[in-house]
Structure 1
Amino acid sequence: MRALTVQPGTHGTARVDELPDPVAGDSELLVEGLALGVCGTDREIVAGDYGWSPPGRDRLILGHESLGRVRHAPAGSDFTDGDLVVGVVRRPDPVPCGACAHGEFDMCRNGRYTERGIKEVDGYAAELWTVELDYAVKLDERLVDVGMLMEPTTVVAKAWEQIDRIGARSWYEPRTVLVTGAGPIGLLAALLGTQRGLDVHVLDRVTDGPKADAVAALGATYHHEPVAAVAGKLQPDVVIEATGAGSVVFDAIANTGTYGITCLTGVSTPGRTISIDAGADNRQIVLENDVVVGSVNANLRHYRAAADALAHADLDWLRRLITRRVPLEHFDEALTARPDDIKVVLTLTGEAR
């Protein structure tokens, strides 16, 4: 089989290798890889800035935004040959910590978790891959050309769950949400907001193009003005922050409505400094019972919620998010970001159109 591999920690080592076909164990699925979503984490790994290879090896099979079709399922399992599936990214740590022991491996306390295509376990950028039955999730067949959006949808499914849990500490009836950043995470967060019947606003710095069009097609409102101006006017009940830009983060935090919840999903680049009025921010958070929470990764509960959200989404709208499809042999094109990109997809087989 062909697979996209990289030597983590070393720039310029990505290549397509011919590797032996994997053999599924008794409690695993053998899956034909259809397509793979590409994200910033993949680009960081290829740049040598992130990632860990499996123990005893130099190279890692890349990819965590999977989509595949079951080639062989064990008899008596909940899967059958031909099912459309994705593989879960994270695995609990071997100790396990209390969170991992309770299935909340997205909240691992000791950092000894592993992640497919990122940390110590091969990923899904291969023509064939295996996955444990307990870490495979079935998708509606309608999603065959957009199912690689599942993993980023799990991230926002978890974010919304965290927001709901925090809001439930008191009377909670949100009406307005501001999403900062119109990449895949931001747009999928907006999708889930519209599915909840909220007044959804999305902010990004571009003035027009596919991002603005996708927001409009969703029935949400698009903004490209400074976040302080937009949030200051809206006073949103919820902010989902998906840029990781420090100035955006703090301007959003400072301009929520009373009892506002800001959920941070964007990962900031260290070493960049900004000036803030920490006293004013602290005063507002305390006096208005505001909350700022970080959210990353997802567990099986979030995968199931994401599968349900995608199954109920408009397929034509989901297709808007995929702005480029690139065959595996031209992976370097997929890993090079372009200004109008939303989601770039590597196709692993002709079925992934």
Structure 2
Amino acid sequence: MTIPFDKNTQRIAAIDWLRGIVMILMALDHASWYFNTNRIFADSILLYEPGLQFPADQFFTRWITHICAPTFIFLAGISIAISNFQQRQQGISNAVIDRELLFRGAFIALIDLGLFSLVSGKPIFQVLYAIGISMMLMVYLQRLGIRMAFFLALLLIVGSELLLMELWQPGGKVPFWLAITFAPVFGETYTALYPALPWLGIMLLGWVFGQRLIAAQSDSWAVNRMLMTIGWFMLILFVVIRGLDGYGNMFMHLEGNTLIQWLHVSKYPPSLAYTLLELGLMAIVLALLMRLESIKKAINPNSPVLVFGQTALFFYLAHFCVLLALKPLFERGSLEQTYWITLLVLIILYPICRIYRSLKYRYPQSLLRFL
């Protein structure tokens, strides 16, 4: 695998494929939010009622989308590492690179704090807020070097629960500073679904892996083996931490020995068990996709998964517009209907995303580069 210099003409297909898969799963989750009468949303101690039983089809439809946020944020960290490397190879100064990353992060965060907050009628801190703030912080944190960045990532991911055990009582009053950094809030005045700092840890991990990918660009099999090893190691750690049912579960304890109970982990905020499970699965899938890329003779540049992966932020914004446009046409109903509506959304978005991608590549220095 070679890291290309021109990100507009050559990209790592496996990363785009994985990002595209994530966008498709995200569309399913949001279609379920709009059209699924019995959608499950109990991924936090703040949302779950002990003893509640989940229908398997509804639970797993929600569960398969859990991989979206950590994967997207991890891949954003990889993209920062590779993009900065490419730009330095082209002679672009660090000051210009940092300014671009800072502006991009601010733009993404402001989509949540401006656009989505306006639509919601209250301030709302969702995934774009966490991504944008993390990108802005990465301008400075990447100067720590790979080793320090790795240890800081581990500290944020592993140590968040320790901090919250001291400062946070689930269901109690949460100061604003804690809500936007570590502890979620589902309130009438504002909502903080994605406190920034636990997700920053995942972006830092992605950046560290991106540096490893750059260093080993002539040895794709070494990267592949590393991903597989790390992925299975994370899944084993997940089983241990979930089985011990103590620290690392973010107050979401086992209430039985069923598969659903084992997989019912805290996303808001992300527990260590959740992060290990999702990043472990992501690492294995990415390894398989990289292996596929290495043996595939011709990559179809217009495959839907690749197109969605190369227009991810645009897809994110556009799919909400399509869902809102479809809302008057469909009543809330069955899970089966949700899957059909998701397919319709993807069919509508595919040509739109292709057109946008063409424009973005044609005008690489325009404002389109921020989407």
Same topology, TM > 0.5 = no
- Provide the TM-score with structure 1 as the length reference: 0.27
The higher relative CO (CA closer than 8 Å, separation ≥ 6) is in 2
| Larger helix fraction of residues | 2
| Larger strand fraction of residues | 1
- Provide the TM-score with structure 2 as the length reference: 0.26
